[in-house]
Amino acid sequence: MKRMLMAAVAAGVLLAGAGAAKAEGELFLYNWSNYFPPDLLTRFEAETGIAVTLDVYDSNETMLAKLQAGAAGYDVIVPSGYMVAILIDEGLVQPIDTMSMPNGGLIVAPHDAPFFDPERKYSAPYMWGTTGVTYDSARVEGELEESWKEVFEPREELQGEIAMLNDEVEVYNAAAYYLGFDKCTESPEEAQAILDLLEAQKPHVKMYQSDGTIDRMIAGEVIMHHQWNGASHRTKNDLPTAVYVYPKEGITFWTDNFMVPADAPNPENAKRFIDWMLDPENVAVASNFTGYMNAIDGSAEFLDEALKANPAVNMPQEYADRLRPSIDCSVEARELRNRVWTRLKS
Amino acid sequence: MGAFVDLMRRSRPARVGALIAPAMLIIGIFMVLPLGLMAYVSILERGINGGVQWGVHTVEAYVAFLFEENLLGELSVNPDYIRIFARSFILSFVTMAICLTIGFPAAFYMALQPEKYRNLLIFLVTIPFWTNLLVRNYAWILMLRSNGLLNEALLGLGLIEEPIELLYTNVAITIGLVYSFLPFMVLPIYASLEKLDLRLVEAAFDLGANKRRAFLRVVVPLAMPGIAAGCILVFIPSLGAFVTPELLGGSKSMMIGNLIQSQFGAARNWPLGAALAFALLAIVLLAMMVYLMRFRRPPSAG
Amino acid sequence: MMAKRTRNPLWRFTGVPQGAAFFFAYLYLPIFVLIFFSFNENRQATIWTGFSLDWYGEVLRNDDILAAAGNSLIVATTATLIATFAALVAALGMARSRFRGQDAVNAVIAFPLIIPEIVTAVATLLFFVIVGIQLGLTTVIIAHTVFCIPFAYLPIRARLEGMDKAIPEAAADLYANEVQTFRRITLPLLWPGILSGAMLSFIISLDTFTITYFVAGPGATTLPVYIFGMIRIGITPEVNAISALMLVVSILFVSLSFAVGRMRR
């Protein structure tokens, strides 16, 4: 037994050694796994001599909880827009003056002045996307209406063939758009109406799940999926009949941003990294990898053709007025939302 | 060292204390103290952005567990959390019962093997769990879905006419939970069966007991400590399971684990999350106490 | 073998080999599916399109995932060693005497089982921050050790219960000193319980995600944390491949330890 354990330790040390740093400068990047091309990190390390250590989280909220509890030591984090506002409000991040960085001027409107950080004082854009719906047009008669109606009051052929994201905020927001309510409503009556809609929809929902959305569509487990547009793009790679819908009642658009925590050990390296990622060619590599659009002028020429040709990612201008920013709601509104969600699943 | 050994030899309480100390210290410092902190969090006001407001006290979280405010601001009993707790207890109990049914023969079989193979079998039971929790659940999705392995096999054998819907049901959750917790039932039972005194069984047969009687009267009582340990190790952790209900159950209904998880996540309500955890702790400890008082046997019977 | 069958009265109980066969089939079937899909050429983890070894190449080139696997093995091994030791001595202490408060001790040891992971996770993190302990791999090991103790303790305790107390006492009468008694008699008798407890600790540590996530410092990402972080973008067969590699490592250990055991004999 002891020998075995010794062997385990030895193997562990060997494996850990494979990822050890070699340069003097360091950078601790805190991101979702698989949300940054490994080759690009290698390139950054080669160009700058800064050794990057990648740590990962699985949602904005767990990252927030960890920072709120006092965890320190990260140089760059990648929160979504609404979380940017919270992090600033909580004093958990430091100003970086993105617009005055060498590549700061390349950020295209409206990403240069988002509501959550109007002067881009604390954050720089990484990727942005929308949360809409994908369906397999080969398995549906005719064309679906561009409306949340098809999702919440599905026609017969779609009943039991729908998957929703397992995300309290996204599901609730979509229902609020469809009913024409403010998604941050503090009215119990409106929350009740949302609950009624979701409960009526539930029997037709095969599952609520946020992971494996691409597999599920390709395998034909469901016909329709509440989905992020980048995932929809990758679904289409294997399932050419997949169609992404921008519902006319409104569709959430979100941005993921680079920020630097207040207690970052290497803030200068962090800023260098962020500026490097505002370079059109570098950020295009990231877009090609993730399937999401970036916000940098001049990156288009480096993008894959498939990405540019897919309306799910390269949004046609006529849909622009359907976009609704992802925002954080008041405590009262969040309480109502959580009660709706809990009751839906109790 | 010599003096220490001497003390150990002479004083029984000191020896017992010294033996229990490492475990008590580790759990005391790194579990009980943090939990005390959490108990404090559960009576704090939630922070606007999540977290808590240190120093602002309220019992709101405990009220919210049992009651909800209706539109007029009156309190009425909130059935949601109670339903979620009840569902979790039922599913965990079923999981435990099935683990026992499947696990007992396996543990029995392991104990019957020649001595040199027994340790190997312990490893065999745990090797599958060197893989990752998520991919194990994914493997079950592949097997259970309507065009999955299980349905194909049943169709091929002519046992069913058309695919049965297993995935995203409570059946799927149970299959997944049983799978996750089987080793925790098998190994403790094996550990207590392995020392089984065969002469006792032989004697039972010699005295004319049939298989059933010999099993129930001799084998089961001897395996009882292992069964009890296994049941605890399966039942309690499966109460808090959150990955399997999400992946195999399609998240259509929550278990306690999901509920509490969401209070530290999207709901950003730490005090309620903490209060829910203490409600769970109280229920489980109460159940353990009742069990101890009603079923405690004299040591000789164990 | 046949002789053994007739001699051991337990073989008279029917259905045992069949039950065990079912058990092992149930245990290993998903594992075969999982390994099969590690050879999938498709980027999606659950859709088979053709044979390929690409994902193994990806894993071996991916320093982050290898470092995470290494961290997992270090944490699981260390936590298992400490937890099993603490559990073993505690079980011995509890077995040798009857005293008031024994139930309380049992309840405290069961605490880590009962509290849902997320609560333990946040509580432990708050505690580390307040006390001022720097987060890193050490904090992960501490948190895992706490969590592993009940998993190691219960099988050992089950083994000890009802064990013939007369044996160690008889040995003591024969002037064997305590350490000798322990090494020659008690330890071998307890071995199945210790091994079971240690193995359970090990696998629970390998799977523990939420606690690890919260108490890990920069650079201390473990395999489950890494894999959960992939959820948003999609799990690839890379995860199957690294899982298959972990299986190979585990089988190597087992074979090695048995080979060494043989040689010593």
From the list A329, A322, A139, A154, the residue with the least C-alpha distance to A226 is A154
B284 and C114 in contact by Cβ < 8 A?
Answer: yes
Cα separation of C149 and B296, whole Å? Answer: 24
Same domain? A154 vs A54: no
Task: Give yes or no for a contact between C71 and A16, defined as CB atoms under 8 angstroms apart.
Answer: yes
Q: Is the pLDDT of residue B255 over 70?
A: yes
Q: Is residue A48 part of a domain?
A: yes
- Which run of H or of E encompasses C182? none
Task: Give the residue on B whose Cα is nearest the Cα of A172.
Answer: B266
Q: Look at residue B185 and give its three-state secondary structure.
A: helix
- What confidence score (pLDDT) does residue B212 get? 83
The whole-number pLDDT of residue B302 equals: 33
Smallest Cα distance from C41 to chain B, Å = 17
Q: Please tell me the total count of domains within chain A.
A: 2
Q: What is the mean pLDDT of residues C250-265?
A: 76
Q: How confident is the model at residue C3 (pLDDT cuts 50, 70, 90)?
A: very low
A241–B contact, CB cutoff 8 A: no
In a 3-state reduction of DSSP, which class is residue C149?
Answer: helix
Q: Cβ of A72 and C125 within 8 Å?
A: no
Shortest distance between the Cα of A62 and any Cα of chain B, in A, equals 6
Query: What is the predicted pLDDT for the residue at B211?
Result: 82
Q: Which residue among B141, B247, B265 places its CB closest to the CB of A61? A: B265
Question: Which chains touch C (3+ CB pairs under 8 A)?
Answer: A, B
The Cα–Cα gap between A149 and B187 comes to 53
User: Minimum mean pLDDT among B7-11, B165-169, B273-277: which range?
Assistant: B7-11
Q: Is residue A6 part of a domain?
A: no
CB–CB contact A11 C78 (8 Å): no
Using a CB-CB cut-off of 8 Å, the residues of chain C touching B135 are 34, 45, 227, 235, 239-240, 243
Positive or negative torsion for Cα B265, B268, B270, B274: negative
Helix crossing, C16-38 with B133-144: angle to 10°? 100
Segments of chain A scoring below 70 in pLDDT: 1-24
A1/C233 CB distance under 8 A: no
- Minimal Cα–Cα distance from B72 to chain C, Å? 33
Alpha-carbon dihedral B205, B209, B214, B217, rounded to 10 degrees: -130
Residues of A with CB below 8 A from B49's CB? 64, 68, 86, 89-90, 328
Nearest C-alpha neighbor of B185 from the set B76, B110, B272, B284: B110
Asked if C115 and B281 come within 8 Å (Cβ–Cβ), the reply is yes
Contact C47 A218 (CB under 8 A): yes
Tell me, yes or no, whether A181 and A280 share the same domain.
no
The long-range contacts involving A284-289, CB below 8 angstroms and separated by at least 24 positions, are A285/A37, A285/A39, A285/A40, A286/A36, A286/A37, A286/A40, A286/A126, A286/A127, A287/A127, A288/A37, A289/A36, A289/A37, A289/A40
Within an 8 Å CB–CB cutoff, is residue B267 touching chain A? yes
**A331 plus A217 within the same structural domain:** yes
Domain assignment present for A154: yes
- H helix intervals, chain A: 2-18, 38-48, 60-68, 81-89, 149-152, 168-179, 188-201, 213-218, 229-238, 267-277, 280-290, 305-309, 331-344
Chain C CA closest to residue B147: C47
Q: Which residues of C touch A59 (CB under 8 A)?
A: 232
- CB distance B22–C24 less than 8 Å? no
Distance between CA atoms of residues A205 and A144, nearest Å: 17
Axis-axis angle for helices C237-264, C16-38 (nearest 10) = 130
pLDDT in tens, B43-93: 999 888 888 888 888 888 888 777 776 555 666 777 888 899 999 999 999
Cβ atoms of residues B40 and B32 within 8 Å = no
List C-alpha distances in Å: C85 to A246, B239, C194.
59, 27, 9
Q: Provide the residue type at B4 as one letter.
A: F
Question: Would A5 be classed as within a structural domain?
Answer: no
Domain containing A173 — which CATH number? Answer: 3.40.190.10
Instruction: Mark yes or no for CB contact A53/C213 under 8 Å.
Output: no
For position B107, what pLDDT does the model report?
Answer: 94
pLDDT at B297 over 60: no
B254–chain A nearest CA distance, Å: 6
**C67-229: which CATH architecture?**
Orthogonal Bundle (1.10)
pLDDT value at residue A258: 97
Q: Which residues pair with A221 in a beta bridge?
A: none
Is B216 within 8 Å of chain C by CB? no
> Which among B13, B209, B178 has a CA at the least distance from the CA of B101?
B178
CA distance A274 to chain B (A): 26
Compute the distance between CA of residue C107 and CA of residue C127 in angstroms, rounded to an integer.
22
User: Out of B23, B123, B260, whose CB is closest to C116?
Assistant: B260
Q: Are A326 and A186 in the same domain?
A: yes
Are A183 and A264 found together in one domain? no
pLDDT in tens, B16-27: 888 889 999 999
Of all residues in chain B, the one with the smallest CA distance to C188 is: B195
CA–CA separation, C145 and C140 (whole Å): 9
Write phi, then psi, for B268 (nearest 5 degrees): 45, 50
**Residue C169 pLDDT > 70, yes or no?**
no
Give the per-residue pLDDT at C107: 85
- pLDDT, residue C168, reads 62
By C-alpha distance, the chain C residue nearest A67 is: C214
pLDDT of residue B299: 44
Nearest to B251 among A90, A189, A208 (CB): A208
Output the pLDDT for position C1: 40
Chain C residues in contact with B195 by the CB 8 A cut-off are 159, 163, 189, 192
- Minimum distance, in Å, between the CA of residue A210 and any CA atom of chain B: 10
Least CB–CB distance from C116: residue in B22, B139, B277 = B277
pLDDT at A17: 42
What's the mean pLDDT in C92-113? 82
Which single residue is written with the structure tokens 């509290």?
A: C115
Burial level of B39, CB count in 10 A (0-12/13-18/19+)? Answer: middle
- Residues B35, C183: Cα–Cα separation, whole Å: 37
Q: End-to-end CA distance of chain B, in Å? A: 36
Any B CB within 8 A of A209 CB: yes
Residue B264 forms contact with A (CB below 8 Å): yes
Residue B158's pLDDT is 86
Cβ within 8 Å, pair C94-B237: no
Domains of chain B: 78-268 (1.10.3720.10)
User: In angstroms, what separates the C-alpha of A209 from chain B's closest C-alpha?
Assistant: 6
Q: Do A7 and C256 touch (CB under 8 A)?
A: yes
Count of alpha carbons within 13 angstroms of residue C115, beta-carbon side: 31
Q: What is the pLDDT of residues C49-66, one digit of tens each?
A: 889 898 999 899 888 889
Q: Does B194 touch chain C (CB under 8 A)?
A: yes
> Could you say which DSSP state residue B128 is in?
G
Main-chain phi, psi angles of A265, to 5 degrees? -70, -30
The answer to the question of residue A268 being in a domain is: yes
CB A27 within 8 A of CB A50: yes
User: How far apart are the C-alpha atoms of C43 and C25, rounded to whole Å?
Assistant: 28
Which is higher by pLDDT, C68 or C15? C68
Which residue range is the domain that position A183 belongs to?
129-253+319-344
| Minimum Cα–Cα distance from A190: chain B residue | B71
The nearest CA of chain A is from the CA of C75 a distance in Å of: 9
Q: Which residues from C are below 8 Å from B196, CB to CB?
A: 10
Residue C167 tokens read as 């044996």
pLDDT of residue B301: 37
A285 inside domain: yes
Q: What is the mean pLDDT of chain B?
A: 85
End-to-end Cα distance, chain A? 46
Model pLDDT, residue C10:
67
The residue of C78, C115, C124 whose CB has the most chain B CBs within 10 angstroms, and thus the best one to mutate to test that interface, is C115
Over residues B109-141, the pLDDT tens digits come to 998 888 888 888 999 999 999 988 888 988 898
Q: Closest Cα to residue B108, out of B190, B187, B215?
A: B190
Query: What b/e string do you get for B82-121 counting C-beta neighbours within 10 Å, with b at 16 or more?
Result: ebbbebbbebbebbbebbbebbbbbbbbbbbeeeeebbeb
What are the boundaries of each domain within chain C? Answer: 67-229
ω before A110 within 30° of 0 (cis)?
yes
Is the pLDDT score of C97 beyond 70?
no
CA distance A284 to A275: 14
Residue A155 falls inside a structural domain: yes
- CA distances in angstroms from B280 to A323, B249, C168, C265, listed in the order given: 42, 22, 41, 50
Mean pLDDT on B291-295? 70
- Are C122 and A33 a contacting pair at CB < 8 A? no
A208 vs B2, higher pLDDT: A208
C71 interaction partners in chain A (CB closer than 8 Å)? 12, 16
3-state secondary structure of A259: strand
Closest Cα in chain B, distance from residue A331 (Å): 6
C235/B134 touch (CB, cutoff 8 Å), yes or no? yes
Let me know: does A196 contact A153? Beta carbons within 8 Å. no
